[in-house]
Amino acid sequence: MDKWKRSARLVDMTQLLLSQPYKLIPLTTFAERYLSAKSSISEDLAIIHEVIHNEGNGELETLAGAAGGVRYIPKVNKAYADDILSALCKRLSDPKRILPGGFLYLSDLLGDTTLIQDIGRIFATLFRGQKIDAVMTVETKGIPLAHATASFLRVPVVIARYDYRVTEGSVVTVNTVSLTSKRMRQLSLSKRSLAEGSRVLIIDDFMKAGGTVQGMIHLLNEFQAEVVGVGVMMEAPAVERVVDQYVSLTSVKTMDIKNQRVEVEFGNFQL
Amino acid sequence: MDKWKRSARLVDMTQLLLSQPYKLIPLTTFAERYLSAKSSISEDLAIIHEVIHNEGNGELETLAGAAGGVRYIPKVNKAYADDILSALCKRLSDPKRILPGGFLYLSDLLGDTTLIQDIGRIFATLFRGQKIDAVMTVETKGIPLAHATASFLRVPVVIARYDYRVTEGSVVTVNTVSLTSKRMRQLSLSKRSLAEGSRVLIIDDFMKAGGTVQGMIHLLNEFQAEVVGVGVMMEAPAVERVVDQYVSLTSVKTMDIKNQRVEVEFGNFQL
C-alpha cells in the first residue's frame, strides 16, 4: 500500500475520529495506516482540531504516554443549539399538539432522527466532563433520546420497564407513584443490565412532578449506582416536584386547554 | 472572514457531509462558506469521495442542475460488516443468554450504542437505493435499531405500540396473534404519525413466526402504506412462518435448553 497524501489522510482521519466520539485512537494506529511519520500525523491532528474547535463542534483531546492517543470530544456549537431549541419550542407551542387530558403530542418529534441526534449532542455537551458509565431511561418515548445521548458519550443505555418481561431475565422492581395521575406503577430493571456502583445519567423526554425520574433513582439505589445527572427534553409546570436537580431543554410556560394555547420556552439548561 | 485553506476545507466538508447522510448540500453553500471557486470545491469533493469509496464507507453523489448539490450515501465496508456480525453471532451464542421459556437475553446488545450504530449502518446499506419515507418498529426493543437505521437513511421513525396511550392521540388499532405464545394482542399506531401512501421499512430486533411483523404490515395496510422491506437483527427457527420476505442479520441454528447450548450464525442477508 502506498503512503497516503495529506489531503486523503485528513479526510480519513476526520471520518475515523468523528464517527467514534470518546474512542481513544493511538497515534501509532494512524502512523501505520498511512505509512506516515508521527510528526505528520500530529500536524494533521492539529488542523482537524482547529477546524472542529473553531466551528464550536468539539475538540480533539490528546493523551500522552504509552496508553495515549487522540480522541474526539463532541460539543455543540452554541448558536446552532439555540437555533435547534428555538425551532423545537416553536414546534412544541403548536396548539394542535394539545391532547385530551392536557398532554402534548410528541411522537413526531421523537421520531425525527435529525432532531434527536441534535438533542443527543446537546445533552452530551451539557453533561460532558463527568465520568458516566451508562445512560438510563424508561420505556418508551425516552429511548431515542437516551440512545442519541449515549452514542455521543460512547456509553451503553439501560432501559427501565413498566411491566415485567420474560426477555429481561431476573429484574429488580420498585414501586413508583405518578403524582400527576396518582397511579402506582412498578418499574423494573434487569439485574444483568447494570454493574453495581455505576455512574448513571438519566435522560427522558418529559417531566412534570418527576415521579418517573424518582422511580429510576430508586432503582439505581438498588444497584448502588450513582446518579450523575438528569436531563429532560421538556418540563411541565408542577404544583409539587419530587426531583429538584435536573436540566431541561424546554419548559411549558402556559397550557390553556380551554383556549387551546400552549407556550413553550427554553428550559433551565446553561450551555 | 478569510478564504479557507484546502486542508481546513477538507476537514470541514468531510464533517458536514458525513454527519448528514442523504442531505443534499448545494455547491454554492460550500463556495460561499469557504470563499472558494466552485472548481476548487469540486476537486475537494473528488478527494473526499475517493477516500470514502476506497474504504468501502459509501460515496458522495453529485446531482447536477439548479436544484443540484452533493450528498453522502453511507455504506458499510463488507469486511467490517462481516467482523461486526461475526462478533455479534459469537456474543449471541453465549449459553448464559438462555432465559426460561427459550428466550435469549438481548438487552445488553440493544443497549450497546456502538453495535447499534453499526447495525443501523448495515441495514441502511442493505435497503439503500429504495425510496423510503419512514422506518417502522414496535415498542420496545426494536426502537434503538430503527432509530440507528433511520438516521443513516435520514427518514423519521414511527413506533407501533401494544397498549393504547393517551399521549398518542387518535390511533388505528389492529389485532395481532403471537404464533409462539398463541396470545392475542392489540397493536396501535397514532394516526398523525404516518402520511397515507408512505413507503415504509420495518425493522425489529427479533422474529420467530413473524406475528408481530405481520401485525405491523396490517397496520400499514390501514394507512394505505407500502412495505419496502423487513429487516430483523435475529431470526429464530419457526414451524410455521407468516412473513416470508425479510432480511435477517443473524439466525439461531440450534437452541438446546436442556443442555444449555445455543448456536447463532449469519442470517439470510446479502451484502
How does the average pLDDT of chain B come out, rounded? 94
Bond from prior residue into A140 cis (ω within 30 degrees of 0): yes
**What CATH architecture is A6-74?**
Orthogonal Bundle (1.10)
| Average pLDDT for B121-141 | 96
CB-based burial, B178-214: b 16+ in 10 Å, e otherwise:
ebbeeeeeebbbbebbbeeebbbbbbbbbbbbbbbbb
| Distance between CA atoms of residues A164 and A160, nearest Å | 10
Which is it for strands A103-104 and A98-99: parallel, antiparallel or unpaired? antiparallel
- Helix residue ranges, H only, chain A: 6-18, 27-34, 38-54, 78-92, 107-110, 113-126, 143-153, 211-222
Does residue B229 sit in helix, strand or coil?
A: strand
- Dihedral over Cα of B244, B245, B251, B253: its sign: positive
Q: Can you tell me the distance from the alpha carbon of A205 to that of A188, in angstroms, rounded to the nearest whole number?
A: 19
Cell numbers linked to A25: 485512537
For residue B114, CA distances in Å to A232, B84, B89, B152 come to: 23, 10, 16, 14
Tell which wins on pLDDT, B263 or A179: B263
- The residue ranges of every structural domain in chain A are 6-74, 78-266
Q: B72: which strand partners? A: B60
Do A47 and B7 lie within an 8 Å CB cutoff?
yes
User: Which fold is adopted by the domain B78-266?
Assistant: Rossmann fold (3.40.50)
Q: What is the pLDDT of residues B24-35, one digit of tens each?
A: 999 999 999 999
Contact assignment for B6 to A7 by CB distance below 8 Å:
yes
| Residue A3: predicted pLDDT | 76
Q: Which candidate from A47, A105, A140 shows the least CB-CB separation from B169? A: A105
* Signed CA dihedral, A78, A80, A84, A87: sign only: positive
| Burial class of residue B14, CB neighbours in 10 A (0-12, 13-18, 19+) | buried
Q: How far is CA B188 from CA A137, A143, B121, B182, in A?
A: 22, 18, 28, 19
Q: B147: burial class by Cβ within 10 Å (0-12, 13-18, 19+)? A: buried
Among the partner-chain residues A10, A101, A108, the one whose CB lies closest to the CB of B11 is A10
- pLDDT tens, residue by residue, A116-164: 999 999 999 999 989 999 999 999 999 999 999 999 999 999 999 987 7
B221 confidence band (pLDDT: 50, 70, 90): very high
Here the cell at position A198 is: 455505576
Q: Nearest CA to CA, how far is A146 from chain B (Å)?
A: 9
Give the mean model confidence (pLDDT) for residues B208-237: 96
B53 → chain A, closest CA residue? A12
Cα separation of B178 and B185, whole Å? 8
Is the minimum CB–CB distance between B155 and chain A shorter than 8 Å?
yes
Q: Which comes out higher in pLDDT, residue A221 or B64? A: A221
Cβ-based neighbours of A221, under 8 Å, separated by 6 or more? none
Evaluate if residue A79 carries a pLDDT over 80: yes
The answer to which of A101-110, A197-206, A226-235, B83-92 has the lowest mean pLDDT is A101-110
pLDDT at A2: 67
Out of B99, B113, B193, name the one closest to residue A107 (CB). Answer: B193
What residue type is A271 in one-letter code? Answer: L
Interface subset of B 23-62, CB within 8 angstroms of A: 47-48, 50-52, 55, 57
Which residue's entry shows cell 449502518? B121
Q: Distance between CA atoms of B205 and A135, rounded to whole angstroms?
A: 20
- Is the ipTM higher than 0.85? The answer is yes
Residue A166 has pLDDT above 90, yes or no: no
For B135-159, what is each residue's pLDDT tens digit?
A: 999 999 999 999 999 999 999 999 9
Query: Nearest 5°: CA angle at A48, between A42 and A50?
Result: 100
Confidence of residue A28 (pLDDT cuts 50, 70, 90): very high
Residue of A nearest to B193 (CA): A108
Q: Kindly write down the DSSP assignment for every residue of A247-262, as one continuous string.
A: EEEEEEEEEETTTTEE
